[in-house]
Amino acid sequence: MFFGIAFGPIVGFITGFVGNILADMLSGYGFWIWWDLGNGIMGLIPGIFSALVYKYNERKSIIWGEVSVILGTALGMGLASFSEMWVSGADINTVIFANFVPAFLTNIIWGLILLPILMIAYAAIVQRSGR
Amino acid sequence: MLVAWNYRYRNSPMDHIDPRARFIFSFAILFAATATWNPAILFAVFVVSILWYSMGRLTWKDTRLGWLMISIMLFTMIVVNTIITGGGAGGVVPPGGQLVWPNGAVIFGRQVNLGLTVERLWFAVSQLMRILSISLVFIMIPYTMDSRAYGVTFSKLGLPDRLAYTMELSFRFIPTLARNFQVTLDAQRARGFELDAGKGNIVQKIRQVAPLLIPVTMNAIVSSEDIANAMDLRGFGQMKRTWLYELKFHWWDWAIIAFGAVMLVVILILAYRFDMRLFSVPQWWYELFG
C-alpha cells in the first residue's frame, strides 16, 4: 500500500503481487494466483490515489492514503476471497466469513496504522534527497 | 537470520522439466479443475495431479508447512461449512436430497437430527478433489524450481522484461533485505528496543513492530534508487535483454505442454459442448448409504 502511494499504481501492484508470491514461496505455501492478484490490487488502488498526494506528511495526503487503504483492501481481498467461489465451490457465506472478513480486518488494521507512519518517514527521505 | 529458499536439487523428473512447461501445465490443471463439477472428470484431473506431484519426489518433511495451511483451509471449507453447517454447497448442490442419517442420532443421551445429505457429502468429496488437484501442482513449485529460473521463465513466457526482471531482482535481494532487517533489529535492541511481538492487542503489536519496519523500508527505498540509477546508466530497457540462466526445451517439455493443452481442451468441450460441467452424484454413492 505504501509503495503504491509513494511510487504509483504499477509499482504498487507489482509490490503486492510479486511480494505475495515471494512470501508464499518463502513460507512454503505454494502459488495461489488469485490471492496474489488480490494483494496486487491492494497496492494498485493506493497507487491510483498517489495522484492526490503531494506532500507525504500533509494531513490531507494521509487521509487520502487511509481512504485508499480501505478501498484497496476491500477490493483486493474481495477478489481473492470471492475467487474461492469458482475455484473451491464455496458459497457466499463461507467466502465472506471464512475468507474475506479475516483477510480484510487483518490487512486494514496493519494498513491504517502503518501507512501514515511510513508516509511521514518517507517525507523526511524526500526532503533530504531533494526529490 | 539466514534466509534460505526451500528449493534443493533432488535429481527428480521435475528437475529436468523446463519451468515454462511446468507453469503452462500447472495452469492447464487449474483451469481444467475449475471448469466442471463432473465427478469422473474431476477424478481424472485429480489422478493426473497426483502423478505430477509424485514426479517431484518431495518428502512430507519438506512440504508439511504448506500442507498444514491447505489442511486448515480444507477443514474450514469442507468439514465445517459443507458437512457440519450445511452451507458451502449453495448454488452447486440442488436443495433437498437423501439424508445420510434419516432417523438422526443419539449423542450423549440426546436425539440429534443431522441434516447432512448424501449429495452434500459427495459435494465435499468433489471439493476435496478439486482443491487438492490445484494444490498438488502449485504447492510443489517453490520446492522444485530453482529461484534463478523465475525471471527468465516469465520473460520467455512473454512477460515484459521489466516485470520478469522485477521477479529476478526480488529473489536476488531478499537475503540482502533479511540481513538489513537483522542489522536494524540489533541496532534497535542496542538502543533499548524489545520486540515482544506476543504482548498486547493487535494495535500495540503493530506499534511495537513499527521501529523495525520503518527503517528497513526506508533503507530498502534508498537502496533501490541506487540500483535503478545503476540500471539506467547501463541502458536497461533499451533492447531485449539476455539471461545468464538459460532455458532449453526438450521433447518431453513439448509433450507435457501438448498433453496439458489437449487435456484442457477436451475437458472444456466435455463441460460446455456435452453439458458435463454440472454437479452430479454417481449411483454407487447412493448405494453406499442404502
My answer on whether B215 and B269 are in the same domain is: no
Say if residues B152 and B243 touch (Cβ distance below 8 Å): yes
CB contact under 8 A, A33 and B91: no
- Mean pLDDT within A1-26: 86
Note whether B201 and B91 are same-domain residues.
no
- The residue among B208, B233, B258 that closes a domain is B233
Give the 3-state secondary structure of residue B59.
Answer: coil
CB contact under 8 A, A121 and B63: no
The residue count for chain A = 131
Per DSSP, the three-state class of B290 is coil
Same-domain status, B266 and B134: yes
For residues B158-185, average pLDDT = 82
* pTM of the complete model: 0.77
Distance (Å) from the alpha carbon of B31 to chain A's nearest alpha carbon = 9
Cα–Cα distance, A68 to A12 (Å, whole number): 12
User: With contact defined as beta carbons under 8 Å apart, do B84 and B77 qualify?
Assistant: no
- My answer on whether B187 and B260 are in the same domain is no
Looking at the fold, whether B41 and B166 belong to one and the same domain comes out as no
Q: Using CA atoms, how far apart are residues A24 and B127, in angstroms rounded to an integer? A: 23
In the block, residue with C-alpha cell 537483522: B182
pLDDT at B44 > cutoff 90: yes
Average pLDDT estimate for B160-171:
80
How distant is the Cα of A122 from the closest Cα of chain B, in angstroms?
7
Closest CA to B128 of B68, B82, B86: B82
Domain residue limits at B188: 151-233
Q: What is the DSSP letter of A54?
A: S
**Cα gap B286→B290, rounded to integer Å:** 7
- What is the reported pLDDT for B87? 58
Pair B27, B129 in one domain: yes
Looking at the structure, tell me whether residues B137 and B259 fall in a common domain.
yes
Grid cell at residue A92:
457466499
Chain B environment of A33 (Cβ under 8 Å): 30
pLDDT at B243 over 70: yes
Q: For residue A88, how far is the Cα from the chain centroid?
A: 24
Could you report how far apart the first and last alpha carbons of chain B are, in Å? 59
Rank A107-111, B107-111, B194-198 by mean pLDDT and report only the highest. Answer: A107-111
Q: Assess whether B47 and B136 both reside in one domain.
A: yes
pLDDT in tens, A38-72: 999 999 999 999 888 888 888 999 999 999 999 99
Number of domains in chain B: 2
How far apart CA B159 and CA A80 sit, in angstroms, is: 22
User: Do residues B75 and B210 both lie within one domain?
Assistant: no
| Span B209-241, pLDDT tens digits | 778 888 888 888 888 888 888 888 988 878 777
- pLDDT at B1 (0 to 100): 42
Q: Mean per-residue pLDDT for A91-96?
A: 80
Give the mean model confidence (pLDDT) for residues A20-26.
Answer: 77
Domain count, chain A: 1
Same domain, B64 and B127: yes
As a whole number of Å, the end-to-end CA separation of chain A is 20
Domain stops at, among B189, B204, B233 = B233
Q: Of chain A residues 5-64, which have a CB less than 8 A from chain B? A: 6, 14, 18-19, 21-22, 24-33
| Domain around A66 | 2-129
The ipTM (two decimal places) reads: 0.76
B139 and B156 inside one domain: no
- Looking at the fold, whether B132 and B42 belong to one and the same domain comes out as yes
